[in-house]
Structure 1
Amino acid sequence: MDKILVVGGTGFIGSAALRALTGDRPPKPGEVKALVRRTPKASEAVPGVEYVTGDLTDPASLRDICHGIHTLLHCASHISADEDKCRAVNVDGTHALLAEAARADVHRILLVSTTAVYGTGPHRDVTEHERTPAPASATSHTRLEAEQAVLAAGGTVLRPPLVYGAGDRWFVPSVAELLERVPALPENGRARLSLVAVDDLARLLATLARTPEHVPPGTVHHAAHPHTLTLREFVALLGETLDLTVPQDGLPLDDYLTRLHTAPGRVSAHQAALLAEDRWYRSPLWSRADCTPGPGHRTRLSEAAPWYRKALTPRTPSGR
């Protein structure tokens, strides 16, 4: 195996990619490296991976990080409403990483981006070249800039949609919170969504990292599971696998957002509205890479159910 560096190796997608890269056989020393801000505990580290510390916001800490690396898999990003922080990691950090890759003559660069760069919907059966990105948030705007830098360097960009699975602290937890705040579905849950389980996405990333000839340099690809679900269908699966209450009622989006405003929480009205419009994308990459998209959403949610049950259980404050 050519040497691979995974950037963001303790993140949701990065850690899954490391497991996929090492799952079929233990790697030889130095074959699979992970750039992390802090070395994980032994119990959380992926066996066989060499962890190296560095910070995308500190170019000096990245010096020689790509030495001897054949493939760079960039899974790190900052997600928040703070544009300065997003720019520091997603844009400036990517440029610093690309500079090191160029110095080390890295052969292949893969960036994990997001379909959120397309901005507001509806998006229906969208191909990679059908719609011009129009990001609507600081996170997606700066991630699009990272894409442009990687493409200019001859790298390849993957855009997954909503990602779920063990380690997901945003998508399913957000849906669960919204169901608690407003026991109804916006637009009756009709919106059709592209999804992908993190383990399936990770297998795709590992396949592309090992066999880069499947995707030409300087190209963009969707990484969504071919089977889409409506929001109501997805919530029904959550009801089956996580014992969440599935609302029968639906509300027009404006009425839903009004109700949501009266029950404050972590998930914003903007984020909730994204689940009320079609967001599904054509993804021929699975067949092109000769990689199965996996057993399907019901199976993957069932596999992740123990993690979600623990993550969604309210914690009792210490001392009470």
Structure 2
Amino acid sequence: MNRPHVLVTGGSGFVGGMAVPLLRSSGARVRVLAHRRSVAPASGVEVVHGDLTDPATLRGLCRDVDVVLHLASYIGKDEARCAAVNTDGTRRLVAEAGRAGVGKFVQLGTAAVYGNGPFREVAEGAVEPRPVSPTSRSRLAGERFVLAAGGAVLRPYLVYGKGDVWVMPALLRMLRALPSGLPDRGSARLSLTEVGSLATSLTCMAVTTPPRRATGVFHACPPRPVSLRGLVVAAHRHLGFPLVPGNQSFEQARQELTAAGCDGHLLDLFAVDRWFDATRLRTVGDHAPDIGLSAGLSAHAPWYRAQSL
């Protein structure tokens, strides 16, 4: 595709803030749908204001666009808001892209749609999604419109790096509430994806992968999982997080978390195997995330430290 024209939603967000500069450096023409967050002016970037929940603001949005890179989502517990943005908003965007004759649609999804684990080296299609939160349910529903239209959905599990307001802060809360030790010696294995590597995968899928191959679900994870213990050691080394000693059962850890006023769901995120196989993404263009945890945390340590974590 010669200098593709790419529409990006969520261009000022956690992943989008990394993806837009990559698209520009690839030579793509970029149109960003801006909602509440402002988008800094940049050469080669056209900013259009709109709202996925307002159909009138989406009309004509995809005119002359070759690729839609859909990164926007609402993450929260408001069922109505989740449905309005993640499900209905995606449906409207897919329909608008179809009317404009857009040739490729790439969406950022999440492996959280699979629900409660354990998941061990799970490939796409090996397990049926069973989302347990309003965010995951609505995002899965939105994905189905993309997939039905022949688009691609990239699903990472935990994403960390500059702009992360959830993964490493949540880990820190959990560690501070578990003085007796990690459950099962921190043996759970997790897929953790560095945000810049994820943005690269999404950008490559949008601008270099042939449309006939950019279809279906892809796990966007590094080739090797990290144990919870390995994550804690790396976070201690690079970010100064507490190095929790000892060992306790999963249920004892949940009781300790609850007694400390923390959500026991943190254990479901960090202390249960959630390891996803990304071989399929590697086969379509060799651009699956591959940055190791230690290198990734080291690169983003100045930003995390500036947040006073």
Q: Could you tell me the TM-score, scaled by structure 2's length?
A: 0.93
Residue in structure 2 matching 1:240, options 222, 228, 237: 237
Give the 3-state SS of the residue equivalent to 1:291 in structure 2: coil
Q: Root-mean-square deviation (CA), in Å?
A: 1.8
**1:75-99 deviation line (CA, Å, top 9, x unaligned):** 1111112211110100011111112
In 2: Cα distance, 1:271 partner to 1:78 partner? 20
Partner residue in 2 for 1:37:
35
Partner residue in 2 for 1:127:
123
> Following TM superposition, by how much is the alpha carbon of 1:60 offset from its aligned partner in structure 2, in angstroms?
0.9
In 2: Cα distance, 1:191 partner to 1:49 partner? 42
The amino acid of 1:249's aligned partner reads G
In 2: Cα distance, 1:215 partner to 1:282 partner? 22
Alignment pair present for 1:104 and 2:100:
yes
In 2: Cα distance, 1:41 partner to 1:10 partner? 6
Whether the 8 Å contact between 1:18 and 1:46 is mirrored in structure 2 is: no
The amino acid of 1:219's aligned partner reads G
Partner residue in 2 for 1:269:
264
Partner residue in 1 for 2:218:
221
Partner residue in 2 for 1:15:
17
**1:141-169 deviation line (CA, Å, top 9, x unaligned):** 11110111111111111111110110011
> Following TM superposition, by how much is the alpha carbon of 1:100 offset from its aligned partner in structure 2, in angstroms?
1.1
In 1: Cα distance, 2:6 partner to 2:248 partner? 48
> Following TM superposition, by how much is the alpha carbon of 1:182 offset from its aligned partner in structure 2, in angstroms?
2.1
> Following TM superposition, by how much is the alpha carbon of 1:135 offset from its aligned partner in structure 2, in angstroms?
0.8
The amino acid of 2:188's aligned partner reads A
> Following TM superposition, by how much is the alpha carbon of 1:252 offset from its aligned partner in structure 2, in angstroms?
1.2
Partner residue in 1 for 2:205:
208
Residue in structure 2 matching 1:50, options 46, 50, 54: 46
Partner residue in 2 for 1:139:
135
Whether the 8 Å contact between 2:8 and 2:70 is mirrored in structure 1 is: yes
Whether the 8 Å contact between 1:39 and 1:53 is mirrored in structure 2 is: no
The amino acid of 2:141's aligned partner reads E
Give the 3-state SS of the residue equivalent to 1:12 in structure 2: coil
Alignment pair present for 1:176 and 2:178:
no
> Following TM superposition, by how much is the alpha carbon of 1:121 offset from its aligned partner in structure 2, in angstroms?
0.7
Alignment pair present for 1:304 and 2:300:
yes
Partner residue in 2 for 1:278:
273
Give the 3-state SS of the residue equivalent to 2:272 in structure 1: coil
In 2: Cα distance, 1:41 partner to 1:219 partner? 30
Partner residue in 2 for 1:159:
155
Partner residue in 2 for 1:194:
191
> Following TM superposition, by how much is the alpha carbon of 1:215 offset from its aligned partner in structure 2, in angstroms?
6.1
Structure 1: segments with no counterpart, 5+ residues: 314-320
In 1: Cα distance, 2:217 partner to 2:297 partner? 28
Whether the 8 Å contact between 1:253 and 1:273 is mirrored in structure 2 is: no
> Following TM superposition, by how much is the alpha carbon of 1:214 offset from its aligned partner in structure 2, in angstroms?
7.2
> Following TM superposition, by how much is the alpha carbon of 1:218 offset from its aligned partner in structure 2, in angstroms?
4.1
Say if 1:220 and 1:264 are closer, same or farther in 2 by CA, change over 3 A: same
Partner residue in 2 for 1:80:
76
The amino acid of 2:30's aligned partner reads V
**1:202-250 deviation line (CA, Å, top 9, x unaligned):** 1111111112327635411111011210011011001110111211122
Q: How many residues align?
A: 305
The amino acid of 2:251's aligned partner reads D
> Following TM superposition, by how much is the alpha carbon of 1:180 offset from its aligned partner in structure 2, in angstroms?
1.6
Say if 1:217 and 1:296 are closer, same or farther in 2 by CA, change over 3 A: closer
In 2: Cα distance, 1:217 partner to 1:287 partner? 11
Question: Among the aligned pairs, what percent are the same residue?
Answer: 42
> Following TM superposition, by how much is the alpha carbon of 1:39 offset from its aligned partner in structure 2, in angstroms?
5.5
In 2: Cα distance, 1:90 partner to 1:116 partner? 14
Whether the 8 Å contact between 2:198 and 2:220 is mirrored in structure 1 is: yes
**1:40-86 deviation line (CA, Å, top 9, x unaligned):** 264xx555322221111111111111111000011111111221111
Partner residue in 1 for 2:57:
61
In 1: Cα distance, 2:247 partner to 2:43 partner? 47
Q: Could you tell me the TM-score, scaled by structure 1's length?
A: 0.90
